[in-house]
Amino acid sequence: MGEIQQWKVREPYLHLHCGLGEAPYYDESSNTLRFVDIVKEKLHAVNLKEGPSSHQIHDLEAAIRSESDLTHVWSTEDELIVGAKLGYAYFKRSSGKLEYVKKVWDERDGPGKAERMRCNDGAVDAAGRYWVGTMNDPKVQQPSDEGVLFRLDPDMSLHRMIENLSIPNGVGWSRDNKKMFLIDTPTKNIFVFQFDLASGAISNRRIFFHHADEEDGGPDGFAMDAEENLWTAICGGWKVLKISPEGKVVGEVLLPTRMISCPAFAGEDLFITSAEEEEPGKYPDSVGLGGSLFKVNVGVGGMPLHKFRRE
Protein backbone atom coordinates (compact mmCIF):
# COMPACT_ATOMS: atom_id res chain seq x y z
CA MET A 1 0.00 0.00 0.00
CA GLY A 2 3.01 2.29 0.46
CA GLU A 3 3.15 5.33 2.74
CA ILE A 4 -0.28 6.62 3.67
CA GLN A 5 -1.65 9.11 6.17
CA GLN A 6 -2.71 7.58 9.44
CA TRP A 7 -4.75 8.70 12.41
CA LYS A 8 -5.26 6.65 15.58
CA VAL A 9 -8.31 7.11 17.78
CA ARG A 10 -8.08 5.51 21.21
CA GLU A 11 -11.07 6.98 23.06
CA PRO A 12 -14.67 7.73 22.03
CA TYR A 13 -16.19 11.18 21.81
CA LEU A 14 -19.36 9.65 23.26
CA HIS A 15 -19.10 6.31 25.02
CA LEU A 16 -22.36 4.68 23.97
CA HIS A 17 -23.76 1.22 23.37
CA CYS A 18 -25.70 1.70 20.14
CA GLY A 19 -26.94 -1.52 18.61
CA LEU A 20 -26.25 0.02 15.21
CA GLY A 21 -25.12 3.64 15.20
CA GLU A 22 -25.68 5.06 11.73
CA ALA A 23 -26.45 8.07 9.52
CA PRO A 24 -24.50 10.88 11.22
CA TYR A 25 -25.63 14.24 9.90
CA TYR A 26 -24.14 17.64 10.76
CA ASP A 27 -26.63 20.50 10.93
CA GLU A 28 -24.39 23.53 10.47
CA SER A 29 -27.13 26.04 11.32
CA SER A 30 -27.41 24.71 14.88
CA ASN A 31 -23.89 23.25 15.13
CA THR A 32 -25.52 19.95 16.02
CA LEU A 33 -24.56 16.41 15.06
CA ARG A 34 -27.41 13.92 14.83
CA PHE A 35 -27.24 10.17 14.32
CA VAL A 36 -29.53 7.21 14.85
CA ASP A 37 -29.42 3.83 16.51
CA ILE A 38 -31.37 1.68 14.08
CA VAL A 39 -31.58 -1.35 16.37
CA LYS A 40 -32.62 0.45 19.57
CA GLU A 41 -34.72 3.07 17.73
CA LYS A 42 -33.11 6.17 19.21
CA LEU A 43 -32.23 9.55 17.74
CA HIS A 44 -29.06 11.02 19.26
CA ALA A 45 -28.08 14.70 19.11
CA VAL A 46 -25.10 16.62 20.47
CA ASN A 47 -24.29 20.33 20.27
CA LEU A 48 -20.67 20.47 19.16
CA LYS A 49 -19.97 23.83 20.82
CA GLU A 50 -21.22 22.57 24.18
CA GLY A 51 -19.64 19.16 23.74
CA PRO A 52 -20.52 15.70 25.11
CA SER A 53 -22.42 17.13 28.10
CA SER A 54 -25.13 18.33 25.68
CA HIS A 55 -25.83 14.80 24.38
CA GLN A 56 -29.54 14.07 24.12
CA ILE A 57 -31.36 10.85 23.27
CA HIS A 58 -34.87 10.83 21.81
CA ASP A 59 -36.90 7.66 22.21
CA LEU A 60 -38.51 6.90 18.88
CA GLU A 61 -40.49 3.80 19.80
CA ALA A 62 -43.78 5.69 20.08
CA ALA A 63 -43.32 7.33 16.70
CA ILE A 64 -41.87 4.42 14.76
CA ARG A 65 -43.58 1.40 16.35
CA SER A 66 -41.62 -1.66 17.32
CA GLU A 67 -41.38 -3.12 13.80
CA SER A 68 -40.10 0.08 12.19
CA ASP A 69 -36.60 1.42 11.76
CA LEU A 70 -35.45 5.01 11.41
CA THR A 71 -32.42 5.34 9.18
CA HIS A 72 -31.13 8.34 7.27
CA VAL A 73 -31.99 11.82 8.56
CA TRP A 74 -32.24 15.20 6.77
CA SER A 75 -33.63 18.33 8.40
CA THR A 76 -36.32 20.73 7.21
CA GLU A 77 -36.75 23.04 10.23
CA ASP A 78 -39.03 21.16 12.67
CA GLU A 79 -39.26 18.12 10.41
CA LEU A 80 -36.79 15.44 9.45
CA ILE A 81 -37.34 13.45 6.28
CA VAL A 82 -36.26 9.90 6.90
CA GLY A 83 -36.07 6.49 5.32
CA ALA A 84 -38.11 4.30 7.67
CA LYS A 85 -39.45 0.75 7.62
CA LEU A 86 -41.90 1.19 4.74
CA GLY A 87 -40.42 4.12 2.86
CA TYR A 88 -40.06 7.88 3.13
CA ALA A 89 -41.59 9.66 6.11
CA TYR A 90 -41.58 12.96 7.94
CA PHE A 91 -40.62 12.91 11.59
CA LYS A 92 -41.65 15.96 13.62
CA ARG A 93 -39.23 16.71 16.42
CA SER A 94 -41.75 18.86 18.30
CA SER A 95 -44.49 16.22 18.45
CA GLY A 96 -42.53 13.00 18.00
CA LYS A 97 -44.90 11.86 15.25
CA LEU A 98 -43.94 9.91 12.14
CA GLU A 99 -45.99 10.35 8.96
CA TYR A 100 -45.33 8.33 5.82
CA VAL A 101 -45.33 10.47 2.70
CA LYS A 102 -44.22 7.85 0.16
CA LYS A 103 -44.25 4.10 0.75
CA VAL A 104 -41.93 2.33 -1.66
CA TRP A 105 -43.52 -1.11 -2.10
CA ASP A 106 -46.69 -1.90 -4.06
CA GLU A 107 -48.55 -4.81 -5.66
CA ARG A 108 -45.83 -5.43 -8.25
CA ASP A 109 -43.54 -6.59 -5.42
CA GLY A 110 -45.82 -9.43 -4.35
CA PRO A 111 -46.93 -10.38 -0.84
CA GLY A 112 -44.63 -9.90 2.13
CA LYS A 113 -42.07 -7.59 0.52
CA ALA A 114 -42.85 -4.60 2.74
CA GLU A 115 -42.58 -6.75 5.88
CA ARG A 116 -39.20 -8.25 5.03
CA MET A 117 -37.53 -5.02 3.80
CA ARG A 118 -36.43 -1.73 5.33
CA CYS A 119 -34.69 1.45 4.22
CA ASN A 120 -30.97 1.75 4.83
CA ASP A 121 -28.55 4.54 3.88
CA GLY A 122 -29.39 7.58 1.77
CA ALA A 123 -28.41 11.06 0.58
CA VAL A 124 -29.78 14.12 -1.19
CA ASP A 125 -28.34 15.29 -4.51
CA ALA A 126 -27.73 18.90 -5.61
CA ALA A 127 -31.18 19.09 -7.22
CA GLY A 128 -32.86 18.16 -3.93
CA ARG A 129 -33.74 14.54 -4.80
CA TYR A 130 -33.59 12.07 -1.90
CA TRP A 131 -31.93 8.74 -2.76
CA VAL A 132 -32.48 5.82 -0.37
CA GLY A 133 -31.32 2.22 -0.58
CA THR A 134 -33.43 -0.63 0.77
CA MET A 135 -32.39 -4.03 2.09
CA ASN A 136 -33.82 -7.08 3.82
CA ASP A 137 -34.72 -6.31 7.41
CA PRO A 138 -32.34 -8.43 9.57
CA LYS A 139 -35.18 -8.82 12.08
CA VAL A 140 -37.03 -10.81 9.43
CA GLN A 141 -34.39 -12.50 7.25
CA GLN A 142 -30.76 -12.38 6.20
CA PRO A 143 -29.84 -9.97 3.38
CA SER A 144 -30.33 -11.23 -0.16
CA ASP A 145 -30.33 -9.42 -3.50
CA GLU A 146 -33.82 -7.91 -3.07
CA GLY A 147 -32.51 -4.43 -2.35
CA VAL A 148 -33.51 -1.44 -4.47
CA LEU A 149 -32.09 2.08 -4.74
CA PHE A 150 -35.00 4.55 -4.86
CA ARG A 151 -35.05 8.22 -5.79
CA LEU A 152 -37.71 10.58 -4.44
CA ASP A 153 -37.99 13.79 -6.47
CA PRO A 154 -39.17 17.17 -5.17
CA ASP A 155 -42.53 16.63 -6.94
CA MET A 156 -42.87 13.47 -4.79
CA SER A 157 -42.55 11.12 -7.75
CA LEU A 158 -40.78 7.87 -6.88
CA HIS A 159 -38.24 6.18 -9.16
CA ARG A 160 -36.61 2.73 -8.93
CA MET A 161 -33.04 3.40 -10.00
CA ILE A 162 -31.17 0.12 -9.32
CA GLU A 163 -32.48 -3.33 -8.36
CA ASN A 164 -30.82 -6.54 -7.16
CA LEU A 165 -28.74 -4.88 -4.44
CA SER A 166 -27.91 -6.59 -1.14
CA ILE A 167 -26.91 -3.92 1.41
CA PRO A 168 -26.81 -0.54 -0.36
CA ASN A 169 -24.90 1.92 1.78
CA GLY A 170 -23.11 5.21 1.11
CA VAL A 171 -24.46 7.40 -1.69
CA GLY A 172 -22.72 10.59 -2.86
CA TRP A 173 -21.69 12.78 -5.78
CA SER A 174 -18.58 14.42 -7.18
CA ARG A 175 -18.19 18.19 -6.92
CA ASP A 176 -19.09 18.68 -10.59
CA ASN A 177 -22.17 16.45 -10.21
CA LYS A 178 -21.06 14.26 -13.09
CA LYS A 179 -20.40 11.14 -10.98
CA MET A 180 -22.45 9.27 -8.40
CA PHE A 181 -20.94 6.77 -5.96
CA LEU A 182 -22.74 3.86 -4.30
CA ILE A 183 -21.61 1.04 -2.00
CA ASP A 184 -23.12 -2.45 -1.92
CA THR A 185 -21.37 -3.81 1.16
CA PRO A 186 -21.33 -7.60 0.51
CA THR A 187 -19.63 -7.06 -2.85
CA LYS A 188 -16.86 -5.04 -1.12
CA ASN A 189 -17.24 -2.59 -4.01
CA ILE A 190 -17.72 1.14 -4.30
CA PHE A 191 -19.42 1.68 -7.64
CA VAL A 192 -19.30 4.87 -9.70
CA PHE A 193 -21.89 5.95 -12.28
CA GLN A 194 -22.20 8.71 -14.80
CA PHE A 195 -24.74 11.12 -13.33
CA ASP A 196 -26.95 13.67 -15.06
CA LEU A 197 -27.94 16.38 -12.58
CA ALA A 198 -30.74 17.78 -14.72
CA SER A 199 -32.65 14.51 -15.05
CA GLY A 200 -31.27 12.44 -12.17
CA ALA A 201 -30.38 9.64 -14.59
CA ILE A 202 -27.44 7.31 -13.89
CA SER A 203 -25.55 5.10 -16.34
CA ASN A 204 -22.29 3.25 -17.02
CA ARG A 205 -21.80 1.53 -13.67
CA ARG A 206 -18.23 0.45 -12.97
CA ILE A 207 -16.10 -0.44 -9.94
CA PHE A 208 -14.37 2.61 -8.47
CA PHE A 209 -12.78 0.77 -5.53
CA HIS A 210 -12.69 -2.85 -4.36
CA HIS A 211 -11.71 -3.71 -0.79
CA ALA A 212 -9.61 -6.77 -1.52
CA ASP A 213 -8.88 -7.95 2.04
CA GLU A 214 -11.28 -10.85 2.51
CA GLU A 215 -10.71 -10.93 6.29
CA ASP A 216 -11.08 -7.21 6.87
CA GLY A 217 -14.76 -6.36 6.53
CA GLY A 218 -16.38 -4.35 3.77
CA PRO A 219 -17.16 -0.72 2.90
CA ASP A 220 -20.15 0.75 4.72
CA GLY A 221 -21.18 4.42 4.81
CA PHE A 222 -18.96 7.18 3.44
CA ALA A 223 -18.40 10.94 3.43
CA MET A 224 -16.61 13.00 0.77
CA ASP A 225 -14.16 15.76 1.66
CA ALA A 226 -13.63 19.09 -0.10
CA GLU A 227 -10.75 17.60 -2.12
CA GLU A 228 -13.05 14.78 -3.34
CA ASN A 229 -11.41 12.07 -1.29
CA LEU A 230 -13.94 9.49 -0.19
CA TRP A 231 -13.79 8.42 3.49
CA THR A 232 -15.48 5.05 3.90
CA ALA A 233 -16.12 3.07 7.06
CA ILE A 234 -14.89 -0.53 6.89
CA CYS A 235 -17.44 -2.47 8.90
CA GLY A 236 -15.60 -5.37 10.48
CA GLY A 237 -12.22 -3.75 9.78
CA TRP A 238 -11.56 -1.40 12.75
CA LYS A 239 -11.03 1.58 10.41
CA VAL A 240 -12.11 4.28 8.03
CA LEU A 241 -10.24 4.41 4.72
CA LYS A 242 -9.42 7.62 2.86
CA ILE A 243 -9.67 6.91 -0.88
CA SER A 244 -8.37 9.37 -3.47
CA PRO A 245 -10.38 10.55 -6.53
CA GLU A 246 -8.29 8.01 -8.47
CA GLY A 247 -9.57 5.15 -6.30
CA LYS A 248 -6.35 4.63 -4.28
CA VAL A 249 -6.08 4.26 -0.50
CA VAL A 250 -4.16 7.31 0.73
CA GLY A 251 -5.05 7.29 4.43
CA GLU A 252 -6.70 5.41 7.27
CA VAL A 253 -8.29 6.17 10.62
CA LEU A 254 -7.66 3.32 13.06
CA LEU A 255 -10.33 2.83 15.72
CA PRO A 256 -10.60 0.80 18.94
CA THR A 257 -13.66 -1.19 17.87
CA ARG A 258 -14.35 -3.33 14.82
CA MET A 259 -17.88 -2.61 13.59
CA ILE A 260 -17.39 0.85 12.06
CA SER A 261 -20.50 2.09 10.26
CA CYS A 262 -20.43 5.66 8.91
CA PRO A 263 -18.41 8.92 8.98
CA ALA A 264 -19.59 12.52 8.64
CA PHE A 265 -17.75 15.83 8.52
CA ALA A 266 -18.32 18.74 10.89
CA GLY A 267 -15.72 21.29 9.85
CA GLU A 268 -12.40 19.46 9.75
CA ASP A 269 -13.54 16.92 12.33
CA LEU A 270 -14.64 13.51 11.16
CA PHE A 271 -17.31 11.95 13.38
CA ILE A 272 -17.66 8.18 13.10
CA THR A 273 -20.50 5.93 14.24
CA SER A 274 -20.16 2.26 15.13
CA ALA A 275 -22.21 -0.81 16.06
CA GLU A 276 -22.05 -3.40 18.79
CA GLU A 277 -19.63 -6.25 18.18
CA GLU A 278 -21.30 -9.12 16.31
CA GLU A 279 -18.74 -11.75 17.40
CA PRO A 280 -17.78 -10.88 20.98
CA GLY A 281 -16.19 -14.25 21.66
CA LYS A 282 -13.86 -13.91 18.68
CA TYR A 283 -13.13 -10.18 19.09
CA PRO A 284 -13.29 -9.38 22.83
CA ASP A 285 -11.18 -6.22 22.41
CA SER A 286 -13.89 -4.75 20.20
CA VAL A 287 -16.74 -5.16 22.68
CA GLY A 288 -16.19 -2.36 25.18
CA LEU A 289 -16.43 0.57 22.76
CA GLY A 290 -18.72 -0.99 20.17
CA GLY A 291 -21.64 1.34 19.45
CA SER A 292 -19.75 4.50 20.47
CA LEU A 293 -19.27 7.76 18.56
CA PHE A 294 -15.71 8.75 17.65
CA LYS A 295 -14.10 12.02 16.54
CA VAL A 296 -10.82 12.82 14.78
CA ASN A 297 -9.46 15.99 13.15
CA VAL A 298 -8.31 15.12 9.64
CA GLY A 299 -7.29 18.59 8.44
CA VAL A 300 -9.87 18.95 5.66
CA GLY A 301 -13.57 19.73 5.61
CA GLY A 302 -16.39 17.95 3.88
CA MET A 303 -18.35 18.61 0.71
CA PRO A 304 -21.51 20.69 1.21
CA LEU A 305 -24.61 18.63 2.00
CA HIS A 306 -27.99 19.19 0.39
CA LYS A 307 -31.52 19.13 1.73
CA PHE A 308 -34.62 17.58 0.24
CA ARG A 309 -36.66 20.18 -1.66
CA ARG A 310 -40.35 19.37 -1.70
CA GLU A 311 -42.25 21.39 -4.27
pLDDT at 66 over 60: no
Distance CA 140, CA 117 (A): 8
pLDDT tens-digit series, residues 166-221: 999 889 999 999 999 999 999 999 999 999 999 999 999 999 999 987 678 899 99
Query: Tell me, what's the pLDDT at 76?
Result: 55
Q: What is the pairing mode between strands 79-83 and 249-254?
A: unpaired
pLDDT tens-digit series, residues 232-254: 999 999 999 999 999 999 999 99
**Is residue 83 exposed (0-12), middle (13-18) or buried (19+ Cβ within 10 Å)?**
buried
